[in-house]
Structure 1
């Protein structure tokens, strides 16, 4: 499979080149030249396939010939080794729990897949520096996914006041080949610094940069797998079912873009919901046709505090930049902090299920939209509630127990380089040689 830039259809790169490069020089996004469709036999067998088996079938066309079938099976086995259960919350509303991996967030899937790809592709005499901006879960997933890999350094860039304490601990205490940079600003500022780094010629001559945000195809594409897995589980429980709506809590919109790509491969999902917090640019666009990126607003659902979503051009590309075609499939929804808190409290009391702030938006969107859409619904539970321990305990008035994966980070020493929002200073830092836990 070859890939082109969303800003230049005539451009061409292999999967390997696209993964290593991360971002096209024209600041577009890599997009597959073709979208393969999966046959009826695959969908009939979905309920009985394991996650690694689904991943192999879905991803093989996108990585061939750069990754052999044998190598891909090995990677899929290593990445998809934790459960992703479909849990009934109430009649006709189910949660797809994506938080059972090493860092308790859905981004474990894409980060681990990308780390294996880059390890396979990295040249011994040219180390790769992976740059990743994070509003929370991406940083921990990427840092842990790449931890200890030879010939690869990871730099996590995050807003100093924009992530939860536990999220911060997960990527600032690791050392080894990982470093953390705290920026005085918002996630959008961090994202802008990373993008500028990729377009800086001097920096790219000295450093072999690659991106681990969902703009990288190796982070983005494997997210399709759990949509197929969800459909398989749904069909196992409801053999006669033909329609479903999936609500996707969305910040940078890579997760939704992956679901929509899965639909174009044949996944029979009727509708998707773009569920956001007060950073509502995409729901507003779906309603008005006017797309207006804006400075991000801080909310209780901090992983979605994105004012200029990186992956939205991929969604537009999937639908040929025709708003009407997109509106037929994607419904917009947003909620403010009080609605999110009220939903968490109500569902915990009435259903005995603990939503995290992001999943709460997905659940609430289904409660409000399903009567009109007339289908059952699945929402993505994208992170474990304990990753937002302080805010969750304030909402519920009781202690949230940490799972084993998160307990492991408590009491460790943070190693962070704090910087102002200034590219010249950031560039100077990146130009230095990496030392364990710092630059």
Structure 2
């Protein structure tokens, strides 16, 4: 399988080149030349498969031409050492709990899968060390850091905005050491993302060290997230609710929902998608007007969605060949203020007993507002509420229990490098490594 750039000005790349580079030389995002449809028999039998079995089928369609079958299946099974249960919240609304991985966030799957795939290519080609740059607004950093922790031949640099991630999130990537370096940037997430993208385009830096990204701009990070959507359908099918399934995705950089759109192109019977935004409503406004107008991100309760210029919008535009009508036919949008998010969390907890995190609250409320008669809604609960304990406790007047694995992170010593938002400072730091 060859991969092309969304900007259309870079040579075609192999999977290995796309994964190792992260970003195409023309600053575009890589896309596979074709998306393979899965057989009807696969969907007929999917409800009888384990999560690992169905994911292996999907992975073969994505990567089977470029990775040996046994090696790919081993990567998938190592990645999916946990399940993602669908929990009924109320009639016809289910929470797909994606927070049962090592860092209790949905990005654990993509991060671990990419780490193992990158290691596969390093060993196969006898490469020297690869350096992974990742910008995070919260969960990406912890998922990538823990997914790559101790992986031979790979060093990870996590860039995060100072004072704009939760204490628990920060502890998950600043206390690890070993092959993980945390960089505390004096700015917002978009500054962190800009530093990463600028590093990829700098000839001197790339001559000095092998660079790639583990953000959802990397095909090996976002594509495995499609596994979740197939698992959601399998679980709804087992309940007799597989028809007219609507999936709502709390969206920031739009990698997760893009993976779901790929699943739909492969034949997954999702009726439509809803992209739920916080006050960073760039995509919502695009759906209304047809104009994409990025702007500086603003800080909200749902901090992992605080993105003012979502990178994966380029993939959505490419997938639909720029047709606004086609995009808005398959994806609807919603946007919620902090006050609305908090009210949703309180209302859901009072009436159902279910504890939402601020991101999941956006997804749940969007289904409440936009689900039609006869449809079954599934929203992605992307992170455990304990990762945002201070916010959740304050809103619900509760004491959310911290799972043991999160508590262990908080016992560690913070190890981070302070950094300005100037690329010259970041470049000087990397050149010194």
Shared fold, TM over 0.5:
yes
Q: Which runs of 5+ in 1 are unaligned?
A: 434-439
1:160 matches 2:162: yes
Shift of 1:77: 0.8
Structure 2 match to 1:120 = 120
Distance 1:305 1:262 in 2: 25
- Aligned to 2:143, the other structure's residue is in SS state helix
CA contact (8 A) 2:10 2:26 kept: no
State the shift of 1:61 in Å. Answer: 2.6
- SS, match of residue 243 in structure 2: coil
Partner of 1:416: 416
Paired with 1:109 and 1:10, the residues of 2 have a C-alpha distance of 29
Matches within 5 A, 1:290-301: 290-301=291-302
Report the secondary structure of 1:140's partner residue: helix
Q: Deviations along 1:135-158, whole A, 9 cap, x unmatched?
A: 000000000000001110000000
- State the partner residue of 1:183: 185
Q: SS in structure 2 opposite 1:75?
A: helix
Q: Which residue of 1 aligns with 2:141?
A: 139
Cα-to-partner distance string for 1:248-290 (whole Å, 9 max, x where unaligned)? 0000000010101110110111110010000000011001111
State the partner residue of 2:405.
405
Distance (Å, rounded) in 2 between the aligned partners of 1:180 and 1:430: 13
> Unaligned 5+ residue runs, structure 2?
none
Map 1:283-432 → 2, pairs under 5 A: 283-371=284-372, 374-432=374-432
In 1, distance between residues paired with 2:262 and 2:182? 32
> How far off its partner does 1:374 sit?
4.8
Q: Is 1:238 aligned to residue 240 of structure 2?
A: yes
Matched, 1:276 2:301: no
Using the TM superposition, give the Cα deviation of residue 124 of structure 1 relative to its aligned residue in structure 2, in angstroms: 4.4
Q: Give the ranges of 4+ consecutive aligned residues of structure 1 lying more than 2 Å apart after TM superposition.
A: none
The one-character-per-residue Cα deviations of 1:157-176 (angstroms, maximum 9, x if unpaired) are 00011100000000000000
- Per the TM alignment, residue 55 of structure 1 is displaced from its structure 2 partner at its CA by 1.3
Select the residue among 227, 230, 234 that pairs with 1:225.
Answer: 227
CA contact (8 A) 2:129 2:154 kept: yes
> Retained in 1: the 8 A contact 2:76–2:113?
yes
How many residues are matched? 431
Which whole-Å deviations, capped at 9, do the CAs of 1:316-373 have from their partners, x for residues lacking one?
A: 11111100011111001010000100111111111010001000000000000013x7
Give the Cα separation in 1 of the matches to 2:266 and 2:63: 15
Report the Cα offset of residue 125 of structure 1. Answer: 5.0
RMSD over aligned Cα, in angstroms? 1.1
Counterpart CA distance in 1 for 2:127 and 2:104 is 34
The separation in 1 between residues aligned to 2:121 and 2:286, in whole angstroms, is 39
C-alpha distance in 1 between matches for 2:75 and 2:363:
30
- Distance in 1 of aligned mates of 2:202 and 2:219: 21
Residue 170 (str. 1) matches residue 165 (str. 2):
no
Q: Contact (CA 8 Å) 1:112, 1:145: kept in 2 or not?
A: yes
1:437 paired residue number: none
